Amino acid sequence: MKTMVALGEILIELNSLSPGPLRHVTYFEKHIAGSEANYCVAFTLLGNRCVFVGRVGDDEFGRNAIEWLRGKGVDVGRVKLDPNPTGIFFIQRNYPVPDKSISIYYRKGSAGSRLSPGDLDDDLLREADVVHSTGITLAISETAREAVFEAFERAKVTSFDTNIRLKLWSPEEARETIMNLLRREPLKFLITDTDDSKVLVGESNPDEAYRLLSPYAELVVMKQGPKGATVYYEGEKYFSPGYTVKVEDVVGAGDALGGTFLSLVLSGFPPKKALDYAIASSTLNVTMRGDQEPLPTLQELDEFLREMNK
């Protein structure tokens, strides 16, 4: 069994039950989310272990998040309770662009943003098979950013999803900070998408973007929305196409893809096969609300691939 240590912010997701502008939505459904927590659950359900490092509020939502993640098998022994509130976000679906979702954050000054280098455990980082974080954690506060830089410095193997959120920082700040991390700590796994590569290296063509990002990672996964995704490693390139399905909410699909891919590669799947499974997991994710409820077991992924590729 492999161990991933993930640094980030667990958020409470309030997903609109009906599509359309939030000003006219009456009912919301609660889910546990946050990119790194989504990665952890995907990773754990596929037979590996994930330790989450971060903070939640000493409040009802914080307890809810801890109990939920524990129920999914995530090691929450290092999640701290913080006097600030657990961060929340709302999702507006299918408006103003059909099949797209918009995240609206209420997270400034949240417990999760108080993550700091003091929350790190040296032995845990050194012994982990992979240490993972995202651009969201670099953006939420100065101390969270320092924690990611320090953790990556101490880790043997690192994974990073660029996840650039332009509501949290400017494109210039995102580029400078993420490229600085990549230059200082070349990665084993870089998971990104064609919008983020445009911000980072000015390229949304997957091959061109890969060429510019390749000095910074041994393996790059380039997500391409409904089209699918490409993995580049050891001089190889493999594109795995997406599936056409009825879209309920696309939030969380990228994390489903990344968490599934990492777990299966660490379990010994060749990257090409792991990407096919990761695409399957991300496809399931867009068909339901919630980021973690749709995350599958290996058996369920096998069944998906068998039935969908007949």
Residue sitting closest to ligand ADP (CB): 254
Beta carbon of residue 310, minimum distance to ligand CKP (angstroms, whole number): 28
Residue 123 catalytic? no
Q: Which one among 38, 86, 158, 283 touches ligand CKP, defined by CB under 6 A?
A: 38
Choosing from 249, 255, 276, 291, the catalytic residue is: 255
**62 to each of 12, 77, 88, 103, 186, how far by Cα in Å?**
9, 14, 11, 20, 33
Q: Which one among 137, 276, 291, 304 touches ligand CKP, defined by CB under 6 A?
A: 291
Beta carbon of residue 136, minimum distance to Mg ion (angstroms, whole number): 9
Burial 268-282 (b: 16+ CB within 10 A, else e): ebebeebbbbbbbbb
Q: Which one among 134, 223, 289, 294 touches ligand ADP, defined by CB under 6 A?
A: 223
Query: Rounded to an integer, what distance in angstroms lies between the CA atom of residue 208 and that of residue 189?
Result: 18
Burial 151-173 (b: 16+ CB within 10 A, else e): bbebbebbbbbbbbbeebbeeee
Is residue 100 close enough to count as binding ligand CKP by CB under 6 A? Answer: no
Give the interface segment with ligand ADP, choosing from 9-17, 133-141, 177-185, 278-286 (CB under 6 A): 278-286
Q: How many helices and strands in the chain, by DSSP H and E? A: 11, 13
Subset of 122-161 contacting Mg ion (CB under 5 A): none
Beta carbon of residue 306, minimum distance to ligand CKP (angstroms, whole number): 25
Query: Rounded to an integer, what distance in angstroms lies between the CA atom of residue 34 and that of residue 227?
Result: 24
How is the beta sheet containing 187-193 ordered, strand by strand?
79-82, 49-57, 3-7, 130-134, 158-161, 187-193, 217-223, 228-233, 236-241
Q: Which one among 124, 251, 264, 286 touches ligand CKP, defined by CB under 6 A?
A: 251
Beta carbon of residue 224, minimum distance to ligand ADP (angstroms, whole number): 6
User: How many residues of this chain interact with ligand CKP, rule: CB under 6 A?
Assistant: 16
Query: Rounded to an integer, what distance in angstroms lies between the CA atom of residue 180 and that of residue 109?
Result: 25
Query: Under DSSP, is residue 138 helix (H, G, I), strand (E, B) or coil?
Result: helix
Q: Compare residues 156 and 227 and give the one whose CB is closer to ligand CKP.
A: 227
Give the interface segment with ligand ADP, choosing from 1-9, 109-117, 149-157, 239-247 (CB under 6 A): 239-247
**Contact residues for 270 (Cβ-Cβ < 8 A; gap 6+):** none
Binding site for ligand CKP (CB under 6 A): 11, 33-35, 38, 89, 103, 136, 163, 165, 251-255, 291
Residues catalogued as catalytic: 255
